[in-house]
Structure 1
Amino acid sequence: MKQVNIPGLERGCTQLVMGSMMLSDERMEYSAGLLDAYVGIGGNTIDTAHVYGPNGARAIGIWMRERGNRASLVLIGKGAHHDENGPRVTQEAMERDLEETFERMQTDDVDIFMLHRDDPAKPVGYIVEALNAQLEAGRCRALGASNWTAERIQEANDYAAAHGLTGFACNSPNLSLAKPNEPRWPGCVSVDDDCAAWHERTQLPLLSWSSQAGGFFTGRFAPERRDNAEAVRVYYSDANWERLRRASALAARKGVDANQIALAFVLHQPFPTCALIGPNETSELLSSAGALDVKLTLAEMRWLDLKDAELRGE
């Protein structure tokens, strides 16, 4: 599987990143089976977050211990998510969340530590220095931002460069072919045209969450079906139904399915991208893996994203 280089890491992240919210130490046969299947298709990167709770992280820890494969993996740990009292982007919260993550996963470090949310009220200098303390302590090897705006990441990286510190090596917002009407969860950030242009200029790697838009392209949804309130709120729009129509038409030409076209869209950006996936079954994992073989031209990318009314070159 193709890998994306993240500065600070000895190995690249595979383009498909395994999510962990569906894993549980209370269902180890199921969880280990999914993780084994992921490694079996060439995957090496697993996304975790402190706010997801202990069960998935514990399952990963048990699996790594039994397989003896920690050294071959890239572990992402996210921390400092807001709680019921508001923002907690502090050095104390970072360290507490990391320590609990290590305990859950039976490891001494994560490869990438991401801040799960931003606190715009905090100066970037304080945040960058707090993150560098984690690097210096050996708790992680690279830093990432999740649900930060491109402007704040640039500000943080400018501060790091000016002060001889390490900045963010990757960004993890939402990027998908279906564009959300509003944030799926409070405080979430999705890629818009300005953010995409910034990534193209900087070539900062992007690890997209909800890269398959919550299954919007699987055939489970239709304009008249409104039983899934979250999908209706976030993804139901005339523009997204047209994107689905175009993805389905292109999929028929290429002998794949619309969901694979949508995932390929994320992986064909003009900057390094990885896609976080959350398969509930091995069959879903293998279906997502099929997107790795789908080739999209620039004309097809623009047409899928409604940038052009007609598919040029046809």
Structure 2
Amino acid sequence: MRTIEIKGLDKPVTCLIQGSDYFKHNVYDKVRTVLDGFFAAGGNTIDTAYIYCGGESEETIGRWMKDRGNRQEVIILTKGAHHDKNGPKVNPEAIASDLATSLERLGTDYIDLYALHRDDPAVPVSIIIDALNEHIRAGKVRAIGASNWTTARLQEANEYAASKGLAGFTFNSPNLSLAKAKEPFWTGCVSADEDYCAWHEEHQLPLLSWSSQARGFFTGRFTPEVRDNADLVRVFYSDANWERLYRAEELGKRKGVSTIQIALAYVLNQPFPTAALIGAQSPEELASCKEGSEIRLTPDEVRWLEHG
């Protein structure tokens, strides 16, 4: 499986990252089967978060690593500092608390990739970077990143880190997909548009995309007339996205692959390092994703998928 390098890690990250937002103890047999299959297929990175499944996502991943005795082979991407009912939690105390809980749930003493799930622009980047570097120095975190941050805040944070000789963000995890979001899927979420991607190309910061296949938009189940998924209608139903879907269908036919595999290949053939978070729940879905990850697109094909 193709890989990318992320500064701070001593091993590469596979271009497919297994998502875990459905991992619970009552489906542990399924969790085990999914993760065993993903690693057998060459994957090595799992995405989770402090808030997923009330903590069960991290717990079941920790359970699986203990059962398999393979912690050293696994790259864990987890996220903290998501807001709660009281508001934003992007501060040193909340970060420390969420990180400690995640470490306990996962049954490990370090996180490979630690991302801040949300931003709070009211908090200076200096406070955030200083706090995260304390955890790097303590050996609890290998590399730090962000999810759902603007490029302006990412750049400000990394410029501060560089000025102080500190570790900055070495990866970013917004949404990036061939279907462009009309509005945030969840409040405060960030989707990479053309300007956002141009910034990533300039800085060559690795991008780990969530909802990389637009939550099923390219599966063939949805058409302009099928409107039974309110969130998909709200976020992705637009004339421009239907045109992108039709072009993906056309290119898929020319290459002998499926539309959704072209959508995945679009994410993995950007002019900067990318990986795609996937939600494969069966061997068939995993095989489709792996085949999609192997498709090479030219820059002209990527541009044509976007703009025609």
TM-score (norm 2): 0.98
Give the match for residue 24 of structure 1.
24
CA contact 1:38–1:285 (8 Å) conserved in 2: yes
Matched, 1:101 2:102: yes
- Cα deviations by residue, 1:136-163 (Å, 9 ceiling, x for unpaired): 1111110011000111000000000111
Mapped to 1, the partners of 2:194 and 2:229 lie a distance apart of: 28
Structure 1 residue 108 displacement after superposition: 1.1
What SS class does the counterpart of residue 66 from structure 1 fall into?
A: helix
Structure 1 residue 293 displacement after superposition: 2.0
Q: Any residues of structure 2 matched to 1:5-16 within 5 Å, and which?
A: 5-16=5-16
- Cα deviations by residue, 1:120-179 (Å, 9 ceiling, x for unpaired): 001111111011111111111100110001110000000001111110000101100000
Structure 1 residue 59 displacement after superposition: 1.2
Structure 1 residue 280 displacement after superposition: 2.4
Structure 1: state its 5+ residue gaps.
310-314
CA contact 2:170–2:206 (8 Å) conserved in 1: yes
Give the match for residue 40 of structure 1.
40
What SS class does the counterpart of residue 31 from structure 2 fall into?
A: helix
Give the match for residue 282 of structure 1.
283
What SS class does the counterpart of residue 144 from structure 2 fall into?
A: strand
Give the match for residue 140 of structure 2.
139
Structure 1 residue 107 displacement after superposition: 1.1
CA contact 1:116–1:145 (8 Å) conserved in 2: yes
Moved over 2 A (4+): none
Structure 1 residue 285 displacement after superposition: 1.4
What SS class does the counterpart of residue 172 from structure 2 fall into?
A: strand
Q: Any residues of structure 2 matched to 1:108-119 within 5 Å, and which?
A: 108-119=109-120
Mapped to 1, the partners of 2:33 and 2:101 lie a distance apart of: 25
What SS class does the counterpart of residue 111 from structure 2 fall into?
A: coil
Give the match for residue 176 of structure 1.
177
Amino acid at match of 1:148: W
Structure 2: state its 5+ residue gaps.
none
What SS class does the counterpart of residue 50 from structure 1 fall into?
A: coil
Structure 1 residue 284 displacement after superposition: 1.0
What SS class does the counterpart of residue 7 from structure 2 fall into?
A: coil
CA contact 1:160–1:166 (8 Å) conserved in 2: yes
Give the match for residue 129 of structure 1.
130
CA contact 2:265–2:292 (8 Å) conserved in 1: yes
- Cα deviations by residue, 1:51-101 (Å, 9 ceiling, x for unpaired): 112212111111101111110111011000011111110111111111111
CA contact 2:46–2:77 (8 Å) conserved in 1: yes
- Greater shift, 253-262 or 19-28, is seen at 19-28
Matched, 1:218 2:210: no
What SS class does the counterpart of residue 111 from structure 1 fall into?
A: strand
Mapped to 2, the partners of 1:134 and 1:149 lie a distance apart of: 23
CA contact 1:145–1:168 (8 Å) conserved in 2: yes
CA contact 1:26–1:55 (8 Å) conserved in 2: no
What SS class does the counterpart of residue 112 from structure 1 fall into?
A: strand
Q: What root-mean-square deviation, in Å, do the aligned CA atoms of Structure 1 and Structure 2 show? A: 0.9
Give the match for residue 67 of structure 2.
66
Aligned length: 307
Mapped to 1, the partners of 2:25 and 2:64 lie a distance apart of: 9
Matched, 1:90 2:91: yes
| Identity level (%) | 56
What SS class does the counterpart of residue 161 from structure 2 fall into?
A: helix
Mapped to 2, the partners of 1:151 and 1:99 lie a distance apart of: 29
Mapped to 1, the partners of 2:50 and 2:255 lie a distance apart of: 40
